[in-house]
A = this chain, B = another copy of it.
């Protein structure tokens, strides 16, 4: 890794840190990009060569989750059902992306609920991830899933998990309890996948 790359990574991280700090202290909308850039000690104009928009500061590793999920699909075992692979892939994406904890994650959850622009960006990123995963899943099971069915399967799963998790996180009591969250996520995935799994 060259000096250039290291410096660039450092600046990028500084931007995220500055943003988390400022968003947390003054709120999202009250913080301008100029302030964030100043706090990270770069010119305002330069900000846009690191992030395309203000919202993206909150999702600095959006592609990593997708990569993990895609790898999980690639590493399927020969007798796994599509729904099983998908379940494993999404679980792995949540576990391994390492993005579930820390101040950034907490802030992201809060702002996604409170600020429409952030929610919009979150939904858009999720949508793109979902499509990418569906493409890979369809490619992994060319004779069992056409593209439309794969999209429906992934859509059902992600939709159920997202909706359930959001509803859950709205309750301030449950929001703080990791065990409750994990349990409900489990419940949601079961609801979503039940129709696709073989019945007794």
A residues touching B (Cβ–Cβ < 8 Å)?
A: 116, 119-121, 123-124, 127, 130-131, 134, 147-149, 151-164, 166-168, 184, 187-188, 191-192, 195-196, 199
**Contacting A116 at CB < 8 Å: which of B124, B130, B134, B155?**
B124
Shortest Cβ gap from A162 to chain B (Å): 6
**Contacting A163 at CB < 8 Å: which of B119, B121, B130, B168?**
B130
| Interface SS of A by simple majority | helix
For A199, what are the chain B residues with a Cβ–Cβ distance below 8 Å? 199
Given A148-B164, A167-B148; A156-B120 close (CB under 8 Å): no
- Docked Cα-Cα span, A196 to B131, in Å, equals 22
**Contacting A167 at CB < 8 Å: which of B119, B151, B166?**
B151
Shortest Cβ gap from A194 to chain B (Å): 8
Report whether B192 and A156 are in contact in the complex, using a CB–CB cutoff of 8 Å.
Answer: yes
For A188, what are the chain B residues with a Cβ–Cβ distance below 8 Å? 148-149, 151-152, 155
Report whether A152 and B123 are in contact in the complex, using a CB–CB cutoff of 8 Å.
Answer: no
- Docked Cα-Cα span, A101 to B133, in Å, equals 31
For A160, what are the chain B residues with a Cβ–Cβ distance below 8 Å? 152-153, 155-156, 159
